[in-house]
């Protein structure tokens, strides 16, 4: 394995609901090496999304540490976390989460506007990535005018916009038919091999998990090999 990109140490996340405490993430130690492709499987409610949200700095842990490129993210201020998320991490969701009022090109350009890339550079890059995901003929389409598989391609292009080191994908093929599932799985594999982006993918589908080089199992907030 190359250098450690992310390392979690004894990571915990609790939810208190009506007097009951749920340990959604329980003492998780996980290492993501630079350029690695990992997947996580496990039953509904086992804490997979909660773990991704912690690693993606969308939520803060109740215990333990998360090191991103050796830096303890739990100590970062909100503004620093925003920058880390914007520049180092790409997110891909089951429901795509594209902005409905923006075209494919605009959706992919948006993270670069937020990152203050130059106007000419960001449009050029958005066109290039959309072409790379096979959508140069759909630049002006809105999400409602695109198929589910095409929407997920736009979402993957958006995730790549600022050249992140890590992509977190939460059931990225969960809303797709079997043909699009295969295409998206193949595309994620290409992101990993051609861009060298590390991937952490949550899935219920053993075939999708099979494209990862290592698969973890999550049960009751705890993670184990295979
Ligand atoms: N914001 C929240 N408030 C209270 N409980 C929560 C919250 N988010 C998650 N939980 C609980 O934490 C546990 C883990 O939830 P999580 O969404 O991480 O599961 P999951 O493995 O992603 O499930 P699925 O496969 O259905 O997506 C569940 O018991 C859930 O009900
Ligand atoms: Mg989930």
Domains of the chain: 4-225 (3.40.50.300)
Exposure string (b/e) for 8-46, b if CB count within 10 Å is 16 or more?
beebbbeeeeeeeebbbbbebebebbbbbbbbbbbeeeb
Exposure string (b/e) for 71-108, b if CB count within 10 Å is 16 or more?
eebbebeeeebeebbbebbbbbbbebebeeebbbbbbb
Ligand 1 proximity of 50 Cβ (cutoff 6 Å): yes
For residue 211 the two structure tokens come to 């494209």
Residues that place a CB less than 5 A from ion ligand 2: 49
SS3 136: helix
β partners of residue 191: none
Q: Ligand 2 centroid to 215 CA: how many Å?
A: 16
CA 91 to chain centre: 3
The residue whose CB lies within 8 Å of the most ligand 1 atoms, and thus the one to mutate among 20, 23, 28, 47, is 47
**DSSP secondary structure letter of residue 45:** T
Q: Are the C-beta atoms of residues 20 and 34 closer than 8 Å to each other?
A: no
pTM listed for this prediction: 0.96
Closest alpha carbon to 29 in 49, 13, 9, 14: 9
Q: Are the C-beta atoms of residues 47 and 26 closer than 8 Å to each other?
A: yes
Ligand 1 proximity of 13 Cβ (cutoff 6 Å): no
Give the number of other Cβ atoms within 10 Å of residue 53's Cβ: 19
User: Per residue of the chain (226 residues), what is the pLDDT tens digit?
Assistant: 569 999 999 999 999 999 999 999 999 999 999 999 999 999 999 999 999 999 999 999 999 999 999 999 999 999 999 999 999 999 999 999 999 999 999 999 999 999 999 999 999 999 999 999 999 999 999 999 999 999 999 999 999 999 999 999 999 999 999 999 999 999 999 999 999 999 999 999 998 899 999 999 999 999 998 7
Q: Are the C-beta atoms of residues 120 and 112 closer than 8 Å to each other?
A: no
Q: Ligand 2 centroid to 11 CA: how many Å?
A: 17
Ligand 1 proximity of 14 Cβ (cutoff 6 Å): no
Which residue carries 């193949």 as its tokens? 186
């Amino acid at each position: 394995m190359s250098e450690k990109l992310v390392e979690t140490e004894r990571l915990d996340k609790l939810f208190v609901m009506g007097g009951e405490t749920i340990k959604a993430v329980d003492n998780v130690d996980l290492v993501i090496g630079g350029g690695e492709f990992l997947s996580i499987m496990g039953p509904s409610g086992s804490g997979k999304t909660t773990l991704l949200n912690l690693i993606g700095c969308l939520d803060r842990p109740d215990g333990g540490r998360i090191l991103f490129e050796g830096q303890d993210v739990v100590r970062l201020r909100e503004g620093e976390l925003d920058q880390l998320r914007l520049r180092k991490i790409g997110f891909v969701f089951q429901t795509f989460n594209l902005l409905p009022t923006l075209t494919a090109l605009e959706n992919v350009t948006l993270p670069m506007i937020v990152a203050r890339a130059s106007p000419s550079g960001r449009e050029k890059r958005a066109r290039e990535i959309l072409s790379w995901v096979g959508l140069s003929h759909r630049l002006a389409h809105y999400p409602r005018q695109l198929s589910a598989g095409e929407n997920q391609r736009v979402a993957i292009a958006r995730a790549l916009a600022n050249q992140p080191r890590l992509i977190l994908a939460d059931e990225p093929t969960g809303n797709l038919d079997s043909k699009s599932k295969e295409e998206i799985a193949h595309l994620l594999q290409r992101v990993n091999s051609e861009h060298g982006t590390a991937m952490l993918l949550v899935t219920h589908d053993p075939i999708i998990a099979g494209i990862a080089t290592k698969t973890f199992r999550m049960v009751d907030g705890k993670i184990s090999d295979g």
